[in-house]
Structures are given as structure tokens and as C-alpha cells.
Amino acid sequence: MLPTRGGHAMRQHPRSSRFAPPLSDLAPMSAGKVRPGGNRGATRLKIRARAEDPMRAYDALPPELRDWIAHAARPWSPRSCLRLWRRALAEEGCTERARARLDRAEAAMLARDSGLA
């Protein structure tokens, strides 16, 4: 006899001796607001298609910017980072302040994604 949960039989995971609830019992995504993003994780932000090779664009970035992207909390497109980086360097005139500006932009994006902003 299979274990039950909420009146439904629990199915056994094929690679485990543990039982999982039927898929119909799992909570639905929050009204379509959170999109599965593959390796990006769940996000409320728009997912955009790329027309360029992201690795080639990443390799063409300045070393300081590549380092920032490598340590960013969420994936960024090289194109958008380069646009922010050039603007920040032109206005700030210093790589440290430009990097701090990218940190602020990332914090704002994370707040917007979490629904806090």
C-alpha cells in the first residue's frame, strides 16, 4: 500500500526510496508572475533573446568588468554591462567608482526582482 497525503497516493521517486506528492498537489507558480529561468533561477524580470554570442562578447570586455560580472549575484548580459560601464567611466572617471556604480545598479535590479522596489 502506498502512503497517502491529503487523500492522494504518493508516488515513489524512481531513484530513491522516498515518496513525493503527486504533481497536481504542488503549489502553482504565483499567477504567472515568476518565470522559470533555467540557470538564471526564478525571476520576475523579462527574459530577452540574444542575437550575439554571449561568450565572445564576454571575452571582449575589459578585465575589470569581466571580474565584476564573474562575482555578480545574478547573470548579466555583457552588452548591458558594457553600456553601464562606459557610462559610469565617462561620468565618474575612475574604475573604482564605476564598479561601485555597477554595484548600486545590481542592488536596484535585485530589489526590483524581489518585489521590494
Question: What is the per-residue pLDDT for 40?
Answer: 59
pLDDT at 66 over 60: yes
Type of residue at 82: L
pLDDT at residue 29 in the model: 46
Residue that the C-alpha cell 533561477 belongs to:
41
Give me the pLDDT at residue 33, please.
56
What does the block give as the cell for 39? 540557470
DSSP state of 49: -
